[in-house]
Structure 1
Amino acid sequence: MARVFPKLTATGVQATTYLLGIALFSISFLVFLNSSISFVVTDVIGQKKHVGDAVGTLGFADELLALVACPLWGLLSDRIGVRTVAVIGYCIVGVSLVCLVQSTNVYPELLLGRLGFSLGGAACSTMVTAVLPAMVAKRPEESGKQDAEEQTTANGHASRLRDEERPSRTGSIGHATSASVSSELTITQTRFASRSRTRHEDPESGEPAKKDSADSASGTSQLAGLVGFFTGAGALLALAVFLPLPAHFQDNGQSRPQSVQTSFYIVGAIAVCVAVFIFFGLRNLPGESGKSISALWHTPYDESTNTDQEGHLHITLTPAPSYLSLVTEAVKLGFTDQSIGLGYLGGFVARASSVGISLFIPLFVNAYFVRNGLCTSNPDNLTDIKENCKRAYTLASALTGIAETAALICAPLFGWLGGKVVSGRSEWPLMGAAAIGVGGYIAFGFLRNPDAFHGEGGQWAFIAVILIGISQIGSIVCSLGLLGRGINGGASERAVGEQSKAEPSSTTTPGQTGAIEGDEVAPLLPSSSAKYDGDEDGKKGDRSHLKGSIAGVYSFAGGAGILLLTKLGGALFDSWTPGAPFFMLAIFNAILLIAVAVVGGGSAIRAKRKEDADLLAA
Structure 2
Amino acid sequence: MARLFPKLTATNLQASTYLLGIALFSISFLVFLNASISFVVTEVIGQKEKVGDTVGTLGFADELLALVACPLWGLLSDRVGVRTVAVIGYCIVGVSLVCLVQSSNVYPELLVGRLGFSVGGAACSTMVTAVLPAMVTKRQEEKPEHDEQEGVEQEQEPEQITPNGHAARLQEVERPGRSGSVGHATSASVSSELTITQNRYTSNSQTRLDGAGSDNAPKQRVEDTVSGTSQLAGLVGFFTGAGALLALAVFLPLPAYFQAHDQSRPQSVQTSFYIVGAIAICVAVFIFFGLRDLPGESEKSLSAIWHTPYDESSKTDEEGNLHITLTPAPSYLSLVTESLKLGFTDPSIGLGYLGGFVARASSVGISLFIPLFVNAYFVRNGLCTSNPDNLTDIKENCQRAYTLASALTGIAETAALLCAPIFGWLGSKVVKGRSEWPLMGAAAVGVGGYIAFGFLRNPDAFHGDGGGWAFLAVILIGISQIGCIVCSLGLLGRGIAESSGSQTFAAQDKPTTRTLGEAGPVTGGETAPLLPSSDTAGEAGGNDSQQDRSRLKGSIAGVYSFVGGAGILLLTKLGGALFDSWTPGAPFFILAVFNAVLFVAVAVVSGGTALRRKQIKDEELVVA
User: What TM-score, normalized by structure 1, do the two folds share?
Assistant: 0.89
1:575 aligns with 2:615: no
- Mapped to 2, the partners of 1:308 and 1:443 lie a distance apart of 66
- Mapped to 2, the partners of 1:194 and 1:249 lie a distance apart of 71
Deviation at 1:533, TM superposition (A): 3.3
Residue range with higher mean Cα deviation, 221-230 or 138-147: 138-147
1:35-57 CA-partner distances (Å, limit 9, x unpaired): 00000000000000000000000
Deviation at 1:503, TM superposition (A): 3.2
Q: Could you tell me whether the CA contact under 8 Å between 1:447 and 1:461 is conserved in 2?
A: yes
Question: Which residue in the other structure is 2:44 paired with?
Answer: 44
Question: Which residue in the other structure is 1:468 paired with?
Answer: 477
Deviation at 1:2, TM superposition (A): 6.6
- Mapped to 1, the partners of 2:51 and 2:84 lie a distance apart of 37
Alignment-mate amino acid for residue 262 of structure 2: G
Relative distance call for 1:216 and 1:47 in structure 2 (3 A) is same
1:385-441 CA-partner distances (Å, limit 9, x unpaired): 212211111111111111111101110111111111111121111111111101110
1:322 aligns with 2:331: yes
Alignment-mate amino acid for residue 480 of structure 1: L
Alignment-mate amino acid for residue 38 of structure 2: S
Alignment-mate amino acid for residue 91 of structure 2: C
Relative distance call for 1:357 and 1:508 in structure 2 (3 A) is same
Relative distance call for 1:64 and 1:5 in structure 2 (3 A) is same
1:58-100 CA-partner distances (Å, limit 9, x unpaired): 0000000000000000111111111111111000000000000
Q: How does 1:413-428 map to 2 (within 5 A)?
A: 413-428=422-437
1:294-345 CA-partner distances (Å, limit 9, x unpaired): 1111121112345668875432211111111111111111111111111111
Alignment-mate amino acid for residue 216 of structure 2: E
Relative distance call for 1:563 and 1:340 in structure 2 (3 A) is same
Q: Could you tell me whether the CA contact under 8 Å between 1:440 and 1:464 is conserved in 2?
A: yes
Deviation at 1:545, TM superposition (A): 1.2
Aligned with 1:557 (options 551, 560, 563): 563
The 3-state SS of whatever aligns with 1:303 is: strand
Deviation at 1:382, TM superposition (A): 3.0
Question: Which residue in the other structure is 1:380 paired with?
Answer: 389
Q: Compute the RMSD of aligned alpha carbons.
A: 3.3
Question: Which residue in the other structure is 2:354 paired with?
Answer: 345
Question: Which residue in the other structure is 1:93 paired with?
Answer: 93
| Structure 2: gaps of 5 or more residues | 165-190, 194-199
1:581-612 CA-partner distances (Å, limit 9, x unpaired): 00000000011111111112101110121012
Relative distance call for 1:564 and 1:146 in structure 2 (3 A) is farther
- Mapped to 2, the partners of 1:527 and 1:11 lie a distance apart of 33
Q: How does 1:386-535 map to 2 (within 5 A)?
A: 386-493=395-502, 496=505, 500=509, 503-505=512-514, 507=516, 509-510=518-519, 514-515=522-523, 519-520=525-526, 527=532, 532-533=537-538
The 3-state SS of whatever aligns with 1:315 is: strand
- Mapped to 2, the partners of 1:527 and 1:386 lie a distance apart of 69
Deviation at 1:377, TM superposition (A): 2.7
Deviation at 1:371, TM superposition (A): 1.4
User: What TM-score, normalized by structure 2, do the two folds share?
Assistant: 0.88
1:128 aligns with 2:128: yes
- Mapped to 2, the partners of 1:314 and 1:576 lie a distance apart of 68
- Mapped to 2, the partners of 1:49 and 1:402 lie a distance apart of 32
Alignment-mate amino acid for residue 607 of structure 2: G
Relative distance call for 1:196 and 1:546 in structure 2 (3 A) is closer
Question: Which residue in the other structure is 1:290 paired with?
Answer: 299
Residue range with higher mean Cα deviation, 253-262 or 501-510: 501-510
Q: Could you tell me whether the CA contact under 8 Å between 2:394 and 2:401 is conserved in 1?
A: yes
1:247 aligns with 2:256: yes
The 3-state SS of whatever aligns with 2:462 is: coil
Question: Which residue in the other structure is 2:572 paired with?
Answer: 566
Question: Which residue in the other structure is 2:180 paired with?
Answer: none
Relative distance call for 1:249 and 1:282 in structure 2 (3 A) is same
Q: How does 1:152-167 map to 2 (within 5 A)?
A: none
- Mapped to 2, the partners of 1:115 and 1:431 lie a distance apart of 36
Aligned with 1:333 (options 339, 342, 347): 342
Q: Could you tell me whether the CA contact under 8 Å between 1:349 and 1:589 is conserved in 2?
A: yes
- Mapped to 2, the partners of 1:432 and 1:145 lie a distance apart of 45
Number of equivalenced pairs: 590
Alignment-mate amino acid for residue 237 of structure 1: L
The percent of aligned pairs where both chains have the same amino acid is 77
The 3-state SS of whatever aligns with 2:546 is: coil
- Mapped to 2, the partners of 1:110 and 1:581 lie a distance apart of 29
